[in-house]
């Protein structure tokens, strides 16, 4: 794996998308992908109707605070968070790094409703995709202009390959919704329909499949910096668990 310190993030900007989104294919190696997959705790999934989920080191409290007795575990820090930090994307965040990771698991046909990630976090999210490719749909928030019935919101399709990194920051974080359609196959993938087409690691694969992507189980690691952090967990629970 090339040394990521030299990466010029600007070259990875998705030009045909709201500012600021960046896509880096092969951000981690296959060995690193397998290592991370082997470390995801098998018994900590929360099963939702359309995906499964786990929050590391902990779920946020109802007031959006991160209360935990430990930080992110070593298997998420190295290589993932360390390499993300080298990009400088968290340099203006309060903790200067990601302190939280939501892991999502999707079977083919599963997805996530359009939503925004909101104000619990510094407005940067770094997503590493594992195991399978899929399309993330990014849409302008609904305009307040109720005089028009027409839904003329702009939208963009971002194709996320396994081992890639997607960074969402700036107005892409604050002014858009993102979601994943509940389909088993993404279709009509080509330069005209995929915003990050020119940045993809393996366009050939998509073209050989006639512009279709049959989904398999896909895992995403979504790293963020939670604004409100308290480590009272260690006091409440007595012992700090390693
Ligand atoms: O799985 C993804 O890439 C998106 C997940 C997501 O939107 C979230 O965790 O807030
Ligand atoms: Fe999200």
**Best probe residue, ligand 1, of 23, 112, 119, 139 (max atoms within 8 Å of C-beta):** 112
- Whose Cα sits closest to atom 3 in ligand 1? 220
Nearest atom within ligand 1 for CA of residue 166: 3
Residues with beta carbon inside 6 Å of ligand 1?
Answer: 102, 104, 112, 117, 127, 136, 178, 220, 222
pLDDT at 232: 64
pLDDT band, very low/low/confident/very high, at 138 (cuts 50, 70, 90): very high
4-140+152-229 CATH choice from 3.40.50.620, 2.60.40.10, 3.40.50.720, 2.60.120.590: 2.60.120.590
Reduce the secondary structure of the chain to three states and give it as a string.
CCCHHHCCHHHHECCCCCCCEEEECCCCCHHHHHHHHHHCCCCCCEECCCCEEEEECCCCCCCCEEECCCCCCHHHHHHHHHHHHHCCCCCCCCCCCCCEEEEEEECCCCCEEEECCCCCECCEEEEEEECCCEEEEEEECCCCCCCCCCCCCCEEEEEECCCCEEEEEHHHHHCEEEEECCCCEECCCCCCCCCCHHHCCCHHHHHHCCCCEECCCEEEEEEECECEEECCHHHHCCCCCC
pLDDT at 240 > cutoff 90 = no
If you average pLDDT over every residue of the chain, what do you get? 91
Domain ranges in the chain are: 4-140+152-229
Mind listing the pLDDT tens digit for each residue in 22-69?
999 999 999 999 999 999 999 999 999 899 999 999 999 999 999 998
């Amino acid at each position: 794996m090339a040394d990521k310190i030299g990466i010029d993030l600007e070259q990875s900007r998705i030009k045909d998308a709201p500012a600021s989104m960046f896509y880096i294919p092969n951000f981690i190696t296959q060995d690193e992908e397998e290592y991370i997959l082997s470390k995801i705790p098998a018994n900590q999934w929360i099963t939702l109707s359309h995906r499964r989920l786990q929050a590391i080191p902990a779920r946020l409290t109802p007031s959006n605070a991160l209360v935990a007795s430990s930080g992110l575990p070593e298997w998420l820090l190295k290589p993932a968070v360390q390499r993300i930090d080298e990009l400088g994307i968290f340099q203006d965040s309060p903790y200067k790094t990601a302190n939280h990771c939501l892991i999502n698991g999707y079977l083919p046909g599963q997805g996530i409703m359009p939503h925004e990630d909101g104000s619990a976090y510094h407005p940067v999210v770094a997503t590493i995709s594992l195991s399978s490719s899929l399309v993330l749909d990014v849409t302008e928030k609904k305009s307040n202009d109720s005089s028009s019935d027409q839904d003329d919101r702009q939208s963009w399709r971002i194709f996320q390959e396994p081992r890639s990194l997607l960074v969402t920051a700036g107005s892409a974080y604050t002014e858009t919704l993102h979601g994943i359609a509940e389909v088993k196959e993404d279709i009509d993938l080509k330069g005209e329909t995929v915003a990050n087409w020119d940045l993809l690691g393996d366009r050939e694969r998509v073209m050989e499949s006639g512009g279709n992507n049959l989904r398999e189980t896909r895992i995403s690691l979504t790293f963020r910096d939670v604004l409100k952090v308290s480590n009272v967990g260690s006091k409440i629970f007595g012992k700090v668990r390693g």
